[in-house]
Amino acid sequence: MVINSVAMRRVYLGVWLALGVLLLALAVRSVDPSALIGSLTSTNPWWVAIGLLTVAGTILAKALRWRLLFYPSHEDLRMSTLVSGLLIGQTINLLLPARLGELARAYLVGEAEKRPTLLALGTIVVEKTLDGLALLVLLGVLFAIMPVPPWLRLAGGAAALLTALLLAGVLLLTSGRQRVVDACESLCQILPLLERLGLKRRVGSLADGLRSLQASGVWARLLLWTAGIWLLAGLTNYCVLLALGIEVPLVLASLLVLAVVHLGLVVPTSPARIGVFHYLCLLALLFLGVDRSQALAYGLVLHSIVVLPIIGAGLVCVWRENLSLYRLASEVDRE
């Protein structure tokens, strides 16, 4: 069964890699190589360095927000464990298909900090809901201040639907936890298989991961952390625009790239986002009238400071913990 799972994962990986290469080819098409090289060689390294600092700040802010999501038992959580779990999870999402990274980091932190894996997973569900709400706010601002292409409105509608479903689930488990657990118990009595699978226990543990939302003042702190995370991500985009000297409304371009890239990477994509990431950046900047060579150079530089360092740091954490990505993915599958 594990062999079949690994084989299927590799086939899936190959399909997405082929898609990424195809999109990269489409991005490179009609680009003047000399203009592209000129844009890359004239990149200001100081702004790139500042961009790298904002990426590091984003990771740290995400870890601090995740720590708060374990409230009220968050004080004894080690930041090193949270940062390591976050980096490993993001690396798995970047290199392996099916977005197993969220499950993997819940499993890793649960094992290291002696917390139920499903409780940790519940905190990640809240995290994704907060990020979904932030994305919708960002899209609302963009829709209000500029005409946007139909494909962006369509993608925004899909994101709104997904966020609404997540929010509904979070609110249901937060305000009606006991009713949901009782309903699961009734189902287990009707279907003994569900009882053997531990449905009631699993749903209860998942709901426990949402307890932070019931505490006074925590919601506001979570929203502030989320705003800070998205502002740092936008600042990274801003720094790369300055590094390449791209003459566009910088704040608008930074926010548009942020929205388009997040929307495009919701579903599993090619390993390391090769091709897909670059094509999404190209789409966003071409819409603002940026030269194709500069737009592609932007995608290459942004990818090199946002994606590659995370993969590098994540692999270091994997090596330090003596883990294997495929073995970890198999462990998560069994969970």
Percent helix, percent strand, percent coil in the chain, to nearest 5: 80, 0, 20
Q: Which residue has the higher pLDDT, 209 or 78?
A: 78
Split into its structural domains, the chain has a count of 1
Domain assignment of residue 275, given as a range: 2-26+33-334
At 320, the amino acid letter reads R
**How far from the centroid of its chain's Cα atoms is residue 127's Cα?**
10
d(CA 284, CA 148): 10
Check residue 139 and give its pLDDT. Answer: 93
This prediction has a pTM of 0.85
Q: Which residue has the higher pLDDT, 141 or 218?
A: 141
Q: pLDDT by residue (tens digit) across 196-205?
A: 655 656 666 6
Nearest Cα neighbor of 146 from 241, 296, 249, 299 is 249
Q: Which position has the token pair 């709104």? A: 160
Check residue 192 and give its pLDDT. Answer: 65
